[in-house]
Structure 1
Amino acid sequence: MCDSIVRMEGKVAIVTGGSSGMGYETAKTLARRGARVIIASRNETKLIRARDTIIQKTGNPYVSYRLIDLASLKSVRTFANEVVTWEPQIDVLINNAGAVALADRLTDDGLNLTMQVNYFGTFLLTYLLLPLLKASAPSRIINGSAASMYVGHIDFDHWNDIGRFGTIEVLANSKLAATLFTAELDRRLRGTGVTANSFDPFVVKDTDILNNLPELMRNITQLFINMIGQPKEEVAKQLAFLASNPDLENVSGMHYKFCRKWINHWLAGDSKLTVDLWEASKSAVGITTEEDWEANTL
């Protein structure tokens, strides 16, 4: 749908969830275009294998990996500190990592596990990398979302509750939060040269995202995905399009699907809600005085 020949030499791209699935395919596509790519996930064995395979298949030696576990805010902070310390620039941040049907429990950080993996971890990572992203402008942030967001809701008093939400509901809430976060990013980043857009990959074949589902539900869902889903290689092309197309350099605050602007959630235009989300998220992840670049630049 969106084949492109745009080269990316001199660009640095971070892809979370880059050791497998569509994250791996996206990293490989960006490397093939000449970008320096950093893949990130929590499994070092898979990361090493993915890095080595990408280098072999693309001939691009500038592929590296760093560990990150979005279920641990300490891990996110460590990753961000390493990137800021060792990388002179970030041109593209693709927040691709996410999960379905995680255990209904709190993390060690006191946050709902699905909300933390799919949203709070991404919020913290992006927040901590924003000064470098702004210094690297023009740069781009692409946040993964999903159609489930349309049935999600945000209740700041209960978004970390356990035993309150079913599998689909908590997924929907996390994806809605990611989408509204993107809208607020756009509002706050105007004039900085940093763009922020959300992306719905629709349904993707040949990934391990269903691994946490019960066997019967997993088999039924997999049959459905095999019938209508996109190959992960096609989704990688779409993400690479959003990451590199020069016509999108100044496009921000949009929601994309199939390489086209798609209908965003109606709450994305509610600036009071998105501001409240931003502040509640900063509180939830415990942004420190030293980390709070907003306050430090006033």
Structure 2
Amino acid sequence: MCDTDARLEGKVIVVTGGSSGIGFETAKNLAKRGARVVIASRNETKLKLARDNIKEATGNSDVYYRLLDLGSLKSVRNFASETLSYEKRLDVLINNAGSVGLPDTLTADGLNLTMQVNYFGSFLLTFLLLPMLKSSAPSRIINSSASSMYIGHLDFDHWNDIGRYNFITALANSKLAETLFTAELDRRLKGTGVTANSFDPFVVKDTDILINAPEAIKEVSKFFINLVGLKKEEVGQQIAYIAAEPTLEEESGQHFKFCRKWLNHWLVSDTDLTKKLWEASKAAVNISNEEDWESSER
């Protein structure tokens, strides 16, 4: 569908959810271009296998893994700390990891599980890695969204409530948050050389994204996905295109689908809302004084 001849030698790229599915295919595509690629997920067995498969498929030995559980803010902080310690630069952060149909429960951090896995975790990770991304500029942040965002709603007083949202609305809310977060990133990063864009993978065949969904919905969804869905290799190529294509170096605040700029959510232009989301998110993940690099820039 889309491709680029761009080479990425000397570039460091982090791909969350990189042990399987479209994250794995994205990482493989980028490794083939010569990048140093770090894949992240919570399953070490799958990570080791994915790393070895990428190395074998691409001939690139500069592929690594680190454990990351977005459902644990401690794990996110550990991952960020390790990245800051082991990497000299960070050129692209791809927040690909996410899940559908998670249990309606709170995490150990007191946050709604779906919101934390699909949004709060990536918000915290991005916030902690932003100083490195800035020092590595030009650099890129790519956040995963979905069409469900169009029916999402954010109520900051109740976004972590249990028993209020079903599996579809919980997903929609988390993806709306990720999209509005991307818009606020774009505004705050003007002039830094760091870009922030979101992407919608559409629907993808042969992934385990629906593993937690209710059985009835899973079966109907599988039929639809098999009918119109894209191959995971195709979507991985699309994400790699956004990460690598030289002509997109200055594109920011965009929403991509099928490698094209797509209709974004109408609320991305509500700066009061996106600013409120930013501050509410910092509070939700308990950004400490030591972590808050923004305070030193004021």
Normalising TM by the smaller chain, what interval? over 0.9
The match for 1:200 is 200
The match for 1:184 is 184
Amino acid at match of 2:153: H
- Cα shift at 1:215: 2.5
The match for 1:112 is 112
Once the two structures are superposed, what CA deviation does each residue of 1:176-226 show, in whole Å capped at 9, x if it has no partner? Answer: 000000000000000000000000000011100010123332122111100
Question: Is 1:237 the equivalent of 2:237?
Answer: yes
The match for 2:223 is 223
* Aligned pairs (5 A) from 1:56-71: 56-71=56-71
**Length-normalised TM-score, structure 2:** 0.99
Amino acid at match of 2:280: A
Amino acid at match of 2:28: K
The match for 1:87 is 87
* SS in structure 2 at match of 1:105: coil
* Aligned pairs (5 A) from 1:277-292: 277-292=277-292
The match for 1:137 is 137
* SS in structure 1 at match of 2:14: strand
- The size of the alignment, in residue pairs, is 298
The match for 2:168 is 168
Structure 1 CA distance for aligned equivalents of residues 25 and 139 of structure 2: 21
The match for 2:266 is 266
Once the two structures are superposed, what CA deviation does each residue of 1:52-90 show, in whole Å capped at 9, x if it has no partner? Answer: 000001000000000000000000000000001110000
- Cα shift at 1:102: 0.1
Amino acid at match of 1:211: I
- Cα shift at 1:296: 2.0
Amino acid at match of 1:155: D
* SS in structure 2 at match of 1:279: helix
- Unaligned ranges ≥5, structure 2: none
Structure 1 CA distance for aligned equivalents of residues 40 and 170 of structure 2: 24
Q: CA RMSD in A?
A: 0.6
Once the two structures are superposed, what CA deviation does each residue of 1:22-49 show, in whole Å capped at 9, x if it has no partner? Answer: 0000000000111110000000000000
Structure 2 CA distance for aligned equivalents of residues 56 and 245 of structure 1: 24
Amino acid at match of 1:199: F
Amino acid at match of 2:201: P
* SS in structure 2 at match of 1:93: strand
* SS in structure 2 at match of 1:82: helix
Please say which of residues 130-139 and 206-215 is displaced more in the overlay: 206-215
Structure 2 CA distance for aligned equivalents of residues 20 and 296 of structure 1: 39
* SS in structure 1 at match of 2:27: helix
Question: Is 1:275 the equivalent of 2:249?
Answer: no
Amino acid at match of 1:174: S
* SS in structure 1 at match of 2:141: strand
Runs of 4+, deviation exceeding 3 Å: none
The match for 1:97 is 97
* SS in structure 2 at match of 1:15: strand
The match for 1:76 is 76
The match for 1:125 is 125
Structure 1 CA distance for aligned equivalents of residues 286 and 190 of structure 2: 25
Structure 2 CA distance for aligned equivalents of residues 41 and 218 of structure 1: 23
Amino acid at match of 1:208: D
Amino acid at match of 1:121: G
The match for 1:294 is 294
